[in-house]
Structure 1
């Protein structure tokens, strides 16, 4: 599961008993050697799906971690790209390892995704693997923050994998992980919010609509299809609507 350069079991235990911010500060130097880092295959597929929708001028990688998503933004944005994360340790690694030698200007900002320190400066926001750190009730506010930093008709994009089939090894693995995290957070403070099964596509569509987006789904064919014919991985592409949040909107994701 981990390469020899990755964290030890003791280091993972210390991280898990810390806050989310402190935990990622500790994990940052070895994060790219763990399975938590977004695979290049996913990054390439998302960049390929976004290219026909662009070009974009300025892009933001929300909860950027060590900056893997900046490679996607650099492919589809012409002028500048920004990574934002609340972990100083992750941003330090990103600055050292994720500099884009040519192409758009790159900047890094330390901030909480729930209170973004930007105006409507971006026409593309992406995010990879970060939504498990937000409780379902936080999603409308989070998506509202994204909407606030997007220009008119801006785009918010992120990949979503289909849930594992009920009863499969993957299903029991994720169920067990989430159950362990709930027990940990009931017994230990500060909490470490990281759940795999709380980010459900139907709930996501409704939260996006409430925040002022129209969302469409794009299959990522590189990952194939499930036995029922549905895509294994989709890209959610949510367009910022001109209407203010709170006005009526359809609460579904269009396929």
Structure 2
């Protein structure tokens, strides 16, 4: 699962016993060599779909990490791109990356629960970060996203279909979440990361409550499951206007 340039087992253990912020500060230099980084295939598919939806002027990458998703925004936005994350270590790595061609890119350290922007963006994207938010935090998170979008703006993120009950993937995710719950019951500070807590029914309901109109776009690059449903969808939540 990890390349030779990735973290050692000891480094992962230290990270897992830290807070979320401190854990990612420690992991940041090697994060791009772990399976936690969003694969390029997903980034490319989302960019392709957003090109059909846009163009956009200003874009925000929410919980940007080392900046992998910034390239998606640079490909579909015309004026500026901003990445925001609460890990200083991840942002340091993001700033050191080569700048993608396109509009100016900047990075801001802030918590997604308290974004320091007005309604300055036409597009907000996020990749692989929602496991760090408990279900009860979704209303506040989506309200923050809504507050930084201009009228008619979009909040877009990929959503992978959950593995079928009884499959290997199902048991792997269930096992991971169980280990994290036991860890958080026994150790402080907590490390919030649950793969099975971000459920589409809850997400769709809370997006609607926050005032978004939700659209679903299949990402054809990933094919369909046996029942015909897409393996990966792009959720596009639009503000009025």
Q: What's the TM-score, normalizing by structure 2? A: 0.99
Alpha-carbon offset, residue 103 of structure 1: 1.4
2:195 — aligned with what? 196
Segments of 5+ residues of structure 2 without an aligned counterpart are none
**Runs (4+) of structure 1 moved beyond 3 Å?**
none
Q: Distance in 1 between matches of 2:111 and 2:169?
A: 31
Q: Distance in 1 between matches of 2:89 and 2:204?
A: 32
Alpha-carbon offset, residue 192 of structure 1: 0.2
> SS at 1:147's partner residue?
helix
Q: Does 1:82 align with 2:74?
A: no
Residues 76-115 of structure 1: CA distance to partner in whole angstroms, max 9, x if unpaired?
0001000000000000000001422x31010000000000
2:217 — aligned with what? 218
Residue pairs, 1:124-139, within 5 angstroms: 124-139=123-138
1:59 — aligned with what? 59
1:28 — aligned with what? 28
Q: Distance in 1 between matches of 2:60 and 2:85?
A: 11
1:108 — aligned with what? 107
Residue pairs, 1:101-250, within 5 angstroms: 102-241=101-240
Residues 196-226 of structure 1: CA distance to partner in whole angstroms, max 9, x if unpaired?
0011111000010111101110000000101
Contact 1:95 1:108 in 2 (8 A): yes
> SS at 2:61's partner residue?
strand
Q: Distance in 2 between matches of 1:107 and 1:165?
A: 40
Q: Distance in 2 between matches of 1:103 and 1:232?
A: 31
Q: Distance in 2 between matches of 1:229 and 1:52?
A: 23
Alignment length (residue pairs): 241
Alpha-carbon offset, residue 9 of structure 1: 0.1
> SS at 2:99's partner residue?
coil
